[in-house]
Structure 1
Amino acid sequence: MTWRDGSTSDDPQRFGTEAFYAALGRAFVAMCAVVPVLFLIEALDVGLHVNLDVTAGIIPHRIQGLDGVFFSPFLHADFNHLYSNSIPLILLGTFVLAAGTRRFLWSTLVIILVSGLGVWFTGSPNSVVVGASGVIFGYLGILLTRGVVERSWWNLAVVLLVGLLYGWQLLGILPTDELISWQGHLFGLLGGVAAAILFRRRRADGPAGARSESPTVTLP
């Protein structure tokens, strides 16, 4: 069966198809597998007393803290910090990953770079920044932007649901005196917007005048 937009009944990007729910299920399982890895890293950090969150975190304006751009999303200040990030990471990551593994990986890389470098350039040099919050806000930016640029109403519905559950956390993109990296949240959100635009699926005319989906950016 083919719809007017050129999608078919086995299109995983089409809400309501069996392929869509199958992709969503696989993505959920994958994201649920990621979180235990983060807990293992935190357990090793605490158990071996290696202070990874200090030695491998982002230290703004310092060259020795630049490598934290890549490492910090996998590190957390403590287990409470990790607990607070786990559920939104699974929830948002599931819907981002369901749209395709390559898009997910490249989008995550863009978010990590934009969020991490944003923190490194604008954060306090007396701080060490760790945590997956920047990636979480990036996934939120992806879903929101995809809903607009790809006219994907289910993406907007997910954002609305997340907004109802965690809307108060959006205040995390505003400057605050608390020990929270609002810069990581803000630049993570911006990185998600950029990734959604860079790796968006655009509509193209098919051979019979139907509309089909194809990536704007060719990924290796």
Structure 2
Amino acid sequence: MAFDAHSRGDEPYRFGTEAFYAALGRAFVGMCAVVPLLFLIEALDVWLGAGFDVTAGIIPHRTDGLDGIFFGPFLHHGFDHLYSNSVPLILLGTFVLAAGVRRFLYSTLLIMFVSGLGVWFTGEPGSVVVGASGVIFGYLGMLLMRGIVERSWWNFAVVLLVGLLYGWQLIGIFPTDERISWQGHLFGLLGGLVAAILFRRRSPYRGGPDHSDSTLTLP
């Protein structure tokens, strides 16, 4: 019996296939492993009294605060802050990771960079910004845009689910609370929108056959 190689390669992205559910399950397990790592970092910070969130966070307008662009998302201002980020990080991250590990890594790095750089340029002087919320808003923006650029029923269903669960959180891109970095949320969301376009999956069913087994559209 002959099989269409492109069809088989597309199975992890086709709702209802075994490969689809397997990819979703692996992604959920993967994201569930990330959150304990964040808790371990926070526990070490508290136990050692190292003040990681202060020394390795984003400090706007200061060159010694630039490293926080990539360290800051792994740090939090206490366990309450981390708890509030854990569930949306697992849920949204699962949908993003299910589309491919490389796409997930490239997209996450881009979101971290855009969100962090936006905070560094526009954040309040003297403040220190940490937390995964910029990445969470990036995943939210990525899923919303992915439903448009990839034009699949599955992605539109994800958009609907995400909208129902977290659409209200979009208020976080506006300056409503001086303790919350709305800049990180806004630029994270923008980074996610860009990531969904740059790292979109090319469908082998439109525009002729796709002979690449990569899920990235990198130059």
* TM-score, structure 2 as length reference: 0.91
Structure 1 residue 10: Cα displacement: 6.7
Contact 1:7 / 1:14 at 8 angstroms: preserved in 2?
Answer: no
Count of matched residue positions in the alignment of Structure 1 and Structure 2: 216
For residue 42 of structure 1, what is the aligned residue in structure 2?
A: 42
Structure 1 residue 203: Cα displacement: 3.1
For residue 106 of structure 1, what is the aligned residue in structure 2?
A: 106
Contact 1:205 / 1:212 at 8 angstroms: preserved in 2?
Answer: no
Distance in 2 (CA, whole Å) between partners of 1:53 and 1:81 is 12
**Mean CA deviation greater in 166-175 or 178-187:** 166-175
Distance in 2 (CA, whole Å) between partners of 1:63 and 1:9 is 45
Distance in 2 (CA, whole Å) between partners of 1:12 and 1:205 is 15
Distance in 2 (CA, whole Å) between partners of 1:37 and 1:216 is 27
Contact 1:10 / 1:18 at 8 angstroms: preserved in 2?
Answer: no
Structure 1 residue 215: Cα displacement: 4.2
Letter of the 1:167 counterpart: G
For residue 87 of structure 2, what is the aligned residue in structure 1?
A: 87
Alignment of 1:36-185 (within 5 A): 36-185=36-185
Contact 2:57 / 2:69 at 8 angstroms: preserved in 1?
Answer: yes
Structure 1 residue 84: Cα displacement: 0.5
Structure 2 counterpart SS, 1:12: helix
Structure 1 residue 185: Cα displacement: 0.4
Letter of the 1:168 counterpart: W
Residues 98-128 of structure 1 deviation map (CA, whole Å, 9 limit, x = unaligned): 0000000000000000000000001011210
Contact 1:53 / 1:130 at 8 angstroms: preserved in 2?
Answer: yes
Structure 2 counterpart SS, 1:201: coil
* TM-score, structure 1 as length reference: 0.90
Residues 48-106 of structure 1 deviation map (CA, whole Å, 9 limit, x = unaligned): 11000000000000001010000000000010100000000000000100000000000
Identity %, equivalent residues: 75
Contact 1:204 / 1:211 at 8 angstroms: preserved in 2?
Answer: yes
Distance in 1 (CA, whole Å) between partners of 2:16 and 2:183 is 37
Per the alignment, do residues 163 and 204 of structure 1 end up closer, same or farther by CA in structure 2, a change over 3 Å counting?
closer
Q: RMSD of the alignment, in Å? A: 2.4
Per the alignment, do residues 200 and 9 of structure 1 end up closer, same or farther by CA in structure 2, a change over 3 Å counting?
closer
Contact 1:10 / 1:17 at 8 angstroms: preserved in 2?
Answer: no
Distance in 2 (CA, whole Å) between partners of 1:66 and 1:57 is 8
Distance in 2 (CA, whole Å) between partners of 1:133 and 1:216 is 25
Letter of the 2:71 counterpart: F
**Mean CA deviation greater in 64-73 or 176-185:** 176-185
Residue 197 of structure 2 is aligned to residue 192 of structure 1: no
Contact 1:206 / 1:212 at 8 angstroms: preserved in 2?
Answer: no
Q: Identify, as 1 or 2, the structure richer in strand.
A: 1
Per the alignment, do residues 217 and 50 of structure 1 end up closer, same or farther by CA in structure 2, a change over 3 Å counting?
same
Letter of the 1:192 counterpart: G
Structure 1 counterpart SS, 2:128: coil
